[in-house]
Amino acid sequence: MSYLRRLWAVWRIEYIETASDKGTECIFCKLPSESDENALILMRSDRTFILMNRYPYNPGHLMVAPYSHVPSLELLDEKETKELWLSVNKAIEVLRKALNPDGFNVGVNIGRVAGAGFEGHVHVHVVPRWNGDTNFMPVISDTKVISDSLESMYRKLKKHF
């Protein structure tokens, strides 16, 4: 029989009630001013850019962001919205060509409670998936195995953009 285990961490309520992003620099506003290689930016267009996630769920985990610092999709104008989704399509196309994944997770976390790490700047995650890319490591040792370095993956993907 399975049952829900609870870990009481009552000392966290103070953090939860006062947590804010004050003093946290927005990476999606900062990184476009850096070189593509330093920022892991794979493609720039007029209104959006595609970059690699420095803390990937899987090799090739990309993010697509508008240059506009807005917290939600509906705040983008029509041109930004169109270019954002065209850039997501481009990311998927390149990942298919370069890495041959079996599928993708594509998602947007809007708001802190939805998991947004940078809730003030909306962005889209594009995560390639392969049959068998999950294993016992996260369950047994709370460890995710990433099979390629960021630098190596950057070189593999950059040539396709």
* Mean pLDDT in residue range 72-86: 98
pLDDT-derived band at 72 (thresholds 50, 70, 90) equals very high
CATH number of the domain at 26-158, out of 3.30.428.10, 3.40.50.720, 3.30.70.640, 2.60.40.10?
3.30.428.10
Mean pLDDT of the chain: 86
CA pair distance 120, 151, nearest whole angstrom: 28
Phi, psi (deg, nearest 5) at residue 135: -150, -165
- For residues 119 and 20, the answer to whether their CB atoms sit within 8 Å is no
DSSP string, 20-57: --TTPPPHHHHGGGS-HHHHTEEEE-SSEEEEE-SS-S
Domain-wise residue ranges, the chain: 26-158
Letter for the amino acid at 55?
Y
Over 60: is that where the pLDDT of 144 sits? no
Catalytic residue among 61, 69, 121, 123: 123
Tokens, residue 142: 């709370």
CA pair distance 62, 105, nearest whole angstrom: 11
Identify whether 123 is a catalytic site residue. Answer: yes
